[in-house]
Structure 1
């Protein structure tokens, strides 16, 4: 019942609503504050028109509509920058996870003589870490280069 009301008010399906909310999580603080400022008047307008609807539903609807309004004002460049920043954060998180599995990766490569594709499959199956074999190769090359440079300096 409430989902259909939300879709009716926003004129957006559930997936588009979730997309807007995910984007809200990614934007910088000043944009979030701008969205929240826009949300207030939208909420009060909806509440005066639909007093029989729960405040929680109206709050969510007003937030989604405010996000949509502010996103229409953002130009394509700013939107792409937001997406790019989010991608680099995810890559850094994956890289940090790889550091945690470095001993496993090194053992599989040196002692078991597995390829990077096989190591990627192993990590996915036994550690639920999905990583591309090319990422593993770059990670391996970088760390081995650092290790070899450190040995050469001593």
Structure 2
């Protein structure tokens, strides 16, 4: 009899957690599938013109990237990925290499005057979208920035 009551209470607790999980769990699940992820500066390396950015500039770029507002996503049809990965523009992109566990992804950030164009390449998939961020649009490297050559 006590086993039945204990099992019923335990089953009730499990059902309650499944039906309305804590907000931290929900946020974690949504962050796994987010198109515009929040990046941690410890998990990324940033290159510009094939040189690594200094830690101060990297943190500043990542903070601006995280604070940017998502505008719209582009539809990419199979076979047209190269057009999005290498757009015809004179802007040199910042390349953000993200390492999360076993998954690697590359994010190309083109800082244009009107918006920020982002191309994310992961698991042989390509996703392109626009962001709005004044600080990222006006982002320039300071004149005394130390960059390290890419090996």
User: Higher relative contact order at CA 8 Å, sep ≥6: structure 1 or structure 2?
Assistant: 2
User: Higher helix proportion, which one?
Assistant: 1
User: Higher strand proportion, which one?
Assistant: 2
Larger Rg: 1
Normalising by structure 1, we get a TM-score of 0.25
